[in-house]
Amino acid sequence: MNRILAAATCLVTLPVLAMAAGDITVDAAAGEKVFRTGKAYHQVSVDAESRASPRLNGAVDRAVGSIEGFSYSDAFVVLNAEGTIRSTEKFAAFLAKPKNFEKGTMIAFAGLRKKEDRKNMIAYLATCWVEGM
Protein backbone atom coordinates (compact mmCIF):
# COMPACT_ATOMS: atom_id res chain seq x y z
CA MET A 1 0.00 0.00 0.00
CA ASN A 2 2.81 2.40 0.89
CA ARG A 3 4.44 1.62 -2.44
CA ILE A 4 1.28 2.58 -4.29
CA LEU A 5 0.80 5.76 -2.31
CA ALA A 6 4.39 6.81 -2.81
CA ALA A 7 4.18 6.29 -6.55
CA ALA A 8 0.89 8.12 -6.81
CA THR A 9 2.22 11.08 -4.86
CA CYS A 10 5.34 11.20 -6.94
CA LEU A 11 3.96 10.71 -10.40
CA VAL A 12 0.27 11.29 -10.69
CA THR A 13 -1.26 13.66 -8.23
CA LEU A 14 1.54 15.70 -6.77
CA PRO A 15 -0.26 18.62 -5.16
CA VAL A 16 1.23 22.05 -4.99
CA LEU A 17 3.19 21.22 -1.91
CA ALA A 18 4.69 24.05 -0.02
CA MET A 19 6.60 23.17 3.11
CA ALA A 20 8.02 25.74 5.44
CA ALA A 21 10.84 24.87 7.83
CA GLY A 22 12.43 27.86 9.46
CA ASP A 23 13.35 30.23 6.67
CA ILE A 24 13.32 27.50 4.02
CA THR A 25 10.32 27.27 1.76
CA VAL A 26 10.19 24.66 -0.96
CA ASP A 27 7.70 23.92 -3.71
CA ALA A 28 7.80 20.29 -4.81
CA ALA A 29 5.32 20.86 -7.66
CA ALA A 30 7.64 23.49 -9.12
CA GLY A 31 10.48 21.01 -8.58
CA GLU A 32 8.67 18.40 -10.66
CA LYS A 33 8.71 20.82 -13.59
CA VAL A 34 12.43 21.43 -13.12
CA PHE A 35 13.01 17.66 -13.12
CA ARG A 36 11.60 17.38 -16.67
CA THR A 37 15.16 17.78 -17.98
CA GLY A 38 16.26 14.75 -15.98
CA LYS A 39 13.15 12.69 -16.70
CA ALA A 40 14.34 11.90 -20.21
CA TYR A 41 17.32 10.11 -18.62
CA HIS A 42 16.27 9.03 -15.15
CA GLN A 43 13.12 7.11 -14.27
CA VAL A 44 11.23 7.55 -10.99
CA SER A 45 8.30 5.21 -10.36
CA VAL A 46 7.46 1.90 -8.74
CA ASP A 47 8.60 0.10 -11.88
CA ALA A 48 11.49 2.44 -12.64
CA GLU A 49 14.42 0.87 -14.42
CA SER A 50 18.02 1.93 -14.79
CA ARG A 51 18.98 2.14 -18.43
CA ALA A 52 21.70 4.58 -19.54
CA SER A 53 21.21 6.35 -16.17
CA PRO A 54 20.28 4.96 -12.75
CA ARG A 55 16.67 5.17 -11.57
CA LEU A 56 16.24 7.93 -8.99
CA ASN A 57 13.64 6.47 -6.61
CA GLY A 58 14.63 7.41 -3.10
CA ALA A 59 17.65 9.38 -4.36
CA VAL A 60 17.52 11.74 -1.37
CA ASP A 61 19.28 10.36 1.71
CA ARG A 62 20.33 7.07 0.14
CA ALA A 63 23.83 5.78 -0.42
CA VAL A 64 25.49 7.26 -3.50
CA GLY A 65 25.92 4.76 -6.35
CA SER A 66 23.75 2.11 -4.72
CA ILE A 67 21.35 0.99 -7.46
CA GLU A 68 22.09 -2.68 -7.93
CA GLY A 69 22.98 -3.70 -11.44
CA PHE A 70 23.80 -0.20 -12.69
CA SER A 71 27.32 0.18 -13.99
CA TYR A 72 28.50 3.37 -12.28
CA SER A 73 31.68 5.32 -13.01
CA ASP A 74 34.71 4.63 -10.80
CA ALA A 75 33.99 7.95 -9.07
CA PHE A 76 30.63 6.65 -7.88
CA VAL A 77 31.99 3.22 -7.02
CA VAL A 78 34.53 4.87 -4.69
CA LEU A 79 31.91 7.13 -3.09
CA ASN A 80 29.72 4.10 -2.49
CA ALA A 81 32.58 2.14 -0.96
CA GLU A 82 33.24 5.09 1.37
CA GLY A 83 29.63 4.91 2.55
CA THR A 84 28.70 8.35 1.20
CA ILE A 85 25.06 9.23 1.71
CA ARG A 86 23.43 11.77 -0.61
CA SER A 87 22.04 14.11 2.01
CA THR A 88 19.97 17.12 0.99
CA GLU A 89 23.07 19.32 1.34
CA LYS A 90 25.23 17.02 -0.77
CA PHE A 91 22.48 16.72 -3.34
CA ALA A 92 22.20 20.51 -3.61
CA ALA A 93 25.98 20.84 -4.08
CA PHE A 94 25.93 18.03 -6.68
CA LEU A 95 23.10 19.70 -8.62
CA ALA A 96 24.88 23.03 -8.71
CA LYS A 97 27.62 21.48 -10.88
CA PRO A 98 27.72 17.66 -10.98
CA LYS A 99 31.07 17.45 -12.73
CA ASN A 100 32.82 19.61 -10.12
CA PHE A 101 31.22 17.98 -7.12
CA GLU A 102 31.73 14.35 -8.09
CA LYS A 103 34.82 14.43 -10.26
CA GLY A 104 34.95 11.68 -12.88
CA THR A 105 31.17 11.17 -12.96
CA MET A 106 29.59 10.09 -16.26
CA ILE A 107 26.57 12.32 -15.73
CA ALA A 108 26.17 14.62 -18.72
CA PHE A 109 24.27 17.36 -16.92
CA ALA A 110 25.57 20.91 -16.53
CA GLY A 111 23.63 21.52 -13.32
CA LEU A 112 21.05 24.00 -12.07
CA ARG A 113 22.21 27.59 -11.61
CA LYS A 114 19.26 28.74 -9.52
CA LYS A 115 19.22 27.78 -5.85
CA GLU A 116 15.42 27.91 -5.95
CA ASP A 117 15.36 25.23 -8.68
CA ARG A 118 17.78 23.01 -6.72
CA LYS A 119 15.72 23.26 -3.52
CA ASN A 120 12.43 22.60 -5.27
CA MET A 121 13.71 19.68 -7.30
CA ILE A 122 15.19 17.97 -4.25
CA ALA A 123 11.83 18.45 -2.49
CA TYR A 124 10.13 16.79 -5.45
CA LEU A 125 12.57 13.88 -5.61
CA ALA A 126 12.13 13.39 -1.86
CA THR A 127 8.51 12.48 -2.64
CA CYS A 128 9.69 9.77 -5.06
CA TRP A 129 10.36 7.17 -2.45
CA VAL A 130 9.38 3.56 -2.77
CA GLU A 131 9.31 1.16 0.15
CA GLY A 132 12.27 -1.15 0.19
CA MET A 133 14.69 1.22 -1.55
Find the shortest distance in angstroms from Cβ 1 to ligand HEM. Answer: 26
- 127 neighbors 8 (Cβ within 8 angstroms): no
Nearer to ligand HEM, 23 or 115 (CB): 115
Tell me which of 7, 48, 54, 130 binds ligand HEM, using CB under 6 A. 54
* 19 contacts 122 by C-beta, under 8 angstroms: no
For residues 120 and 107, give the distance between their C-alpha atoms in angstroms, rounded to a whole number: 20
Q: How far apart are CA 37 and CA 14, in angstroms?
A: 18
- Site residues for ligand HEM, window 61-100 (CB under 6 A)? 64-67, 72-73, 75-76
Residue 129 binds to ligand HEM (criterion: CB under 6 A): no
Angle between helices 115-126 and 88-96 (to 10 degrees): 130
Judged by CB under 6 A, does residue 42 bind ligand HEM?
Answer: yes
Q: Binding residues for ligand HEM, per CB under 6 A?
A: 35, 37-38, 41-42, 53-54, 56, 59, 64-67, 72-73, 75-76, 105-109
